[in-house]
């Protein structure tokens, strides 16, 4: 890959079969879903060895995010260059048509539970589609101890101990590592640490139709990383930073990532000087203006703004909902 000037980089989704998935992502993303089976996840920006995201168009078409990171660290990351071995966040869409397993991810402090090269996994969701039967399970009910949870596992009554609520479109939910969680009957955008470490505590007595067997559980590891002080989690309260020309609100801010949500029809600024940002459009159509060129960015599109691009203007063509993700500094 030769050195070329950076520009807004669009990536194609990487679809993942999941037993709990559906086909709803076909309505959100332009790339057709493979086959006719359940697709639970679309990895929107992934720097994983087994599933690397590739640039979809332009002079850098076909380059992976890892290649960009290794060959052009300063144009890509700016002041963050040299800090990351790999791109530190993983972005997804999840179609939880059926229930996800009841699961937990380790924190970075649980080093004995994290395979080499991996990290802990704090994550956050933005609800894109939901109905009356949708459910977010996040946290344990008060008074749930390890002994109580172990008895519930033995009697298959784990659901009785899970704090939950019925979500609505737009809800933002922050799930710190160590939190027991699940989803059912909804579609969410997910931002997380770049980790694939998940421990299943309970899988609703489900059989995978592909293998005709229950999926494996990791009860001992899950128990070891659960934060039993983590009680019920509900939607976060966004911090409104601007109401004109469009509404800008910060919905997540932690040591691993920050996320803003832009809504409206008027042009607004996105990106930052000397730092990368990722843009995910979840509603509407519009264009990014950079260097005298307009780049389409509409529903289902994911664009990385390299640090060399800096801030630029987004011009909505309809009413839009645009998420902007920043890396830890």
Beta strands at 320-326 and 258-264: parallel, antiparallel or unpaired: antiparallel
Residue 9 contacts residue 304 (beta carbons within 8 Å) = yes
R_g over Cα of the chain: 20
The Cα–Cα gap between 78 and 276 comes to: 7
Query: For 68-117, how does the pLDDT look when each residue is reduced to its tens digit (9 = 90+)?
Result: 999 999 999 999 999 998 999 999 999 999 999 999 999 999 999 999 99
The band of 4, judged by pLDDT with boundaries at 50, 70 and 90, is confident
User: Residue written as tokens 């040299």?
Assistant: 82
Query: For 143-157, how does the pLDDT look when each residue is reduced to its tens digit (9 = 90+)?
Result: 999 999 999 999 999
Q: How many CB atoms lie within 10 A of CB 143?
A: 9
Q: Say yes or no to pLDDT of 329 above 70.
A: yes
pTM for the model stands at 0.96
Query: Domains in the chain, please, with CATH?
Result: 9-225 (2.60.120.10), 239-326 (2.60.120.10)
Q: What are the strands, taking DSSP E only, across 75-221?
A: 89-96, 102-104, 123-140, 162-165, 172-175, 181-193, 199-202
CA distances from 37 to 99, 232, 247, 295 (A): 16, 34, 38, 33
Close Cβ partners of 207 (under 8 Å, ≥ 6 residues apart) = 213, 214
Q: What is the pLDDT of residue 79?
A: 96
Q: What is the pLDDT of residue 119?
A: 95
How close are the terminal C-alpha atoms of the chain, in Å? 28
The Cα–Cα gap between 207 and 20 comes to: 11
The band of 2, judged by pLDDT with boundaries at 50, 70 and 90, is low
Query: For 147-205, how does the pLDDT look when each residue is reduced to its tens digit (9 = 90+)?
Result: 999 999 999 999 999 999 999 999 999 999 999 999 999 999 999 999 999 999 999 99
């Amino acid at each position: 890959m030769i050195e070329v000037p950076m520009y807004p980089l669009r990536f194609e989704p990487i679809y993942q079969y999941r037993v709990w998935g559906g086909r709803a992502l076909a309505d959100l993303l332009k790339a057709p879903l493979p086959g006719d089976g359940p697709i639970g996840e679309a990895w929107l920006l992934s720097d994983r060895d087994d599933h690397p995201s590739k640039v979809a168009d332009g002079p850098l078409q076909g380059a992976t995010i890892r290649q960009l990171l290794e060959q052009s660290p300063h144009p890509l990351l700016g002041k963050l260059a040299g800090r990351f071995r790999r791109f530190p966040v993983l972005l997804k869409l999840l179609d939880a048509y059926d229930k996800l397993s009841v699961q937990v991810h380790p924190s970075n402090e649980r080093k004995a539970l994290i395979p080499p090269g991996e990290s802990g996994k704090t994550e956050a969701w933005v609800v894109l589609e939901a109905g009356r039967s949708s459910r977010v399970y996040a946290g344990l009910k008060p008074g749930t101890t390890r002994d109580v949870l172990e008895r519930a596992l033995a009697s298959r009554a784990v659901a009785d101990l899970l704090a939950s609520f019925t979500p609505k479109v737009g809800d933002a939910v922050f799930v710190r590592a160590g939190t027991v969680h699940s989803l059912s009957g909804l579609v969410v955008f997910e931002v997380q640490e770049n980790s694939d470490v998940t421990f299943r505590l309970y899988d609703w007595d489900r059989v995978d139709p592909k293998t005709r067997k229950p999926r494996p559980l990791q009860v001992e590891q899950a128990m070891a990383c659960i934060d039993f002080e983590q009680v019920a989690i509900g939607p976060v309260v966004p911090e409104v930073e601007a109401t004109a020309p469009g509404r800008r609100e910060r919905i997540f801010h932690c040591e691993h990532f920050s996320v803003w949500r832009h809504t409206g029809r008027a042009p607004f600024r996105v990106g930052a000087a000397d730092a990368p940002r990722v843009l995910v459009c979840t509603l509407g159509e519009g264009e990014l203006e950079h260097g005298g060129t307009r780049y389409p960015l509409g529903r289902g599109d994911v664009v990385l703004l390299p640090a060399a691009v800096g801030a630029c203007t987004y011009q909505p063509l309809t009413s839009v909902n645009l998420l902007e993700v920043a890396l830890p500094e």
